Amino acid sequence: MWQYVIKVLVTATVVVAVTEIAKRNSLWAAALASLPLTSLLAFVWLYFDGVSPERIANLSTSILWLVLASLVLFVVLPLMLRAGVNFWLSLIVSCAATGAAYVVMVIILSRVGVRA
């Protein structure tokens, strides 16, 4: 039980830190947010949970391929916001476009023999 509480607290702390820093300086908040903290935390939690290094390595490789699809969000969202589109609509459309990019990436990877 305590392990879950620690996981939640550490993860929440990172998210709160990014949002609080963003209020003062978007560059430093972006630097913190761009770190693969979610992945690092997942690797650590998996290690502590006794998951094999091979499975952690497989997760890392899958993340590598799928991070390319996640970049769609960071292209579509600012383009829509700068075009004057409502924030929530911009967020929904950019998330949908990112989801579609994930699907396309998984299909491409499966066709070339890579399991993501």
Which range of residues forms the domain containing residue 76?
A: 52-116
Residues 69 and 105: beta-carbon distance below 8 Å: yes
Q: Is the pLDDT of residue 95 over 90?
A: yes
Q: Is 43 part of any domain?
A: no
Per the structure, the count of domains in the chain is: 1
Q: Is 41 part of any domain?
A: no
Amino acid at 61: T
Instruction: Say if pTM beats, i.e. exceeds, 0.85.
Output: no
Q: Is 75 part of any domain?
A: yes
DSSP 10-72: HHHHHHHHHHHHHHH-HHHHHHHHHS-HHHHHHHHHHHHTT--HHHHHHHHHHHHHHHHHHHH
Q: Is 13 part of any domain?
A: no
Quick one: pLDDT at residue 29?
A: 84
Q: Which of 27-31, 54-58, 101-105 has the lowest mean pLDDT?
A: 27-31
Q: Is 46 part of any domain?
A: no
Look-up: residue for tokens 């094999």?
Answer: 52
Quick one: pLDDT at residue 61?
A: 87
Query: How far apart (Å, rounded) are the C-alpha atoms in residues 33 and 101?
Result: 21
